[in-house]
């Protein structure tokens, strides 16, 4: 009996120990699970915060790009309106000049006609060869004078001219019929171009296509016609270091630029205008000297405030195509809307197979120009005095 009781007590003791160990293990597992849950909650909070921050940054970037695009669009629209106004003003000015030239041409034609038409000779002719002018012949002479001057007779004049032919006494051809090609019809018939007289003028032509700067785009397209068409993604669209300026381009409606002829006349050195790079030409049109324009184009500073946007965008198209953005210091400061306009124009050029004119490097000296000018002067002198 004691042995059985001992066995039962031992078994109970083992059961209690086992129960105690199981309870401890369960408690430990529950504790570990609680720590894992807290760690998971903490990680979730951190991940959510990071995700929310990324969403905010993406939205801010999208809003920034949207604002930039909207600003660039408004600026491009404003520039388009400016250019349209400039072209409208230029058209008005050209129409005015055309009217002035037309009047001057009419005066010259009247003077030419007056120089060949002699009233006295006509009156003398009418009184010769068995013909005689009688009656109020001064009125006839006055009418001829008005014709010579190209003016109309006074409204108060009431003139009737009667012609009698003794050898054709019974002739009655009726009232005079206007001839086709008379002065009344000439105003309705287009003027026939008058032949121009070629005059030999001893002027040295220094504006010819002396370099690739003035090579027409069509010729360039033939030169590169065999190459594979490129896409916009093949080009560097912004300088490696891009710091767009808030300074605007030249306002064409308020700034008065020099004509290319006036700017060329300001050159005091032996320089051929057509060999100058486009940015130098445009800076000189903005009242800079050649030395000032050259220094500005070479400097690491903005120059677009001196440039008309239309010409600036054309230059950017050439610079991008010929991969010269990083070799043109002022390009890094050009506003983004100008680049977007240039991208659009370059896309159209690539689609149509056109190749923009080459964008050359700035020249280091002008000695070659001096030699070319001297050669042109020598050729001009030898043509005037052969042998």
96-142 per-position pLDDT tens digit:
888 888 888 887 877 776 667 788 888 888 888 888 888 888 888 88
**Is 251 inside a domain boundary?**
yes
Exposure pattern of 59-72 as b/e (b: 16+ CB <10 Å)?
eeeeeeeeeeeeeb
Res 239: pLDDT: 94
Q: Are residues 66 and 146 in the same domain?
A: no
How far is it, in rounded angstroms, from Cα 147 to Cα 110?
Answer: 10
**Is 254 inside a domain boundary?**
yes
Q: Are residues 227 and 364 in the same domain?
A: yes
Distance of CA 227 to the CA centre of its chain: 26
Q: Are residues 376 and 248 in the same domain?
A: yes
Range of the domain at 148: 117-158
Which segment of 54-68, 209-223, 267-281 scores lowest on mean pLDDT?
209-223
Q: 11-61, pLDDT tens digit by residue? A: 666 555 555 555 555 555 556 667 667 777 777 777 778 777 887 787 777
Q: How many domains does the chain have?
A: 3
Q: Are residues 32 and 132 in the same domain?
A: no
292/192: higher pLDDT = 292
**Is 236 inside a domain boundary?**
yes
Q: Are residues 70 and 38 in the same domain?
A: yes
143/20: higher pLDDT = 143
């Amino acid at each position: 009996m004691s042995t059985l009781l001992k066995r039962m007590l031992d078994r109970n003791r083992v059961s209690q120990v086992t129960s105690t160990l199981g309870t401890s293990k369960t408690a430990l597992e529950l504790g570990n699970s609680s720590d894992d849950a807290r760690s998971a909650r903490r990680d979730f909070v951190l991940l959510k915060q990071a995700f929310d921050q990324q969403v905010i940054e993406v939205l801010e970037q999208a809003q920034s790009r949207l604002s930039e695009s909207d600003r660039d669009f408004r600026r491009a629209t404003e520039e388009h309106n400016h250019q349209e106004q400039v072209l409208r003003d230029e058209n008005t000015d050209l129409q005015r000049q055309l009217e002035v030239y037309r009047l001057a041409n009419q005066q010259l034609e009247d003077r030419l006609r007056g120089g060949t038409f002699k009233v006295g000779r006509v009156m003398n002719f009418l009184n010769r060869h068995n013909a005689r002018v009688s009656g109020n012949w001064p009125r006839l002479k006055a009418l001829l004078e008005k014709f010579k001057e190209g003016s109309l007779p006074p409204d108060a004049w009431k003139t009737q001219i009667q012609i009698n032919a003794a050898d054709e006494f019974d002739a009655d051809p009726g009232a005079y019929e206007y001839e086709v090609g008379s002065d009344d019809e000439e105003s309705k018939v287009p003027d026939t171009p008058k032949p121009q007289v070629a005059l030999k003028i001893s002027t040295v032509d220094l504006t010819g296509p002396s370099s690739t700067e003035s090579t027409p785009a069509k010729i360039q397209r033939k030169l590169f016609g065999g190459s594979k068409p490129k896409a916009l993604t093949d080009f560097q669209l912004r300088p490696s270091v891009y710091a767009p300026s808030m300074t605007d381009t030249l306002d064409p409606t308020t700034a008065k630029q020099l004509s290319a002829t006036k700017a060329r006349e300001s050159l005091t050195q032996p320089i051929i205008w057509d060999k100058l790079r486009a940015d130098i030409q445009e800076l000189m049109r903005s009242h800079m000297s050649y030395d000032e324009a050259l220094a500005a184009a070479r400097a690491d500073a903005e120059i677009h405030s001196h440039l008309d946007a239309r010409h600036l965008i054309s230059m950017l198209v050439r610079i991008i195509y010929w991969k010269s953005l990083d070799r043109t210091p002022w390009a890094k400061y050009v506003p983004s809307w100008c680049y977007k306009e240039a991208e659009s124009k370059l896309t159209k050029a690539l689609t149509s197979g056109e190749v923009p004119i080459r964008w050359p490097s700035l020249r280091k000296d002008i000695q070659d120009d001096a030699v070319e000018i001297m050669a042109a002067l020598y050729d001009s002198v030898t043509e005037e005095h052969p042998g």
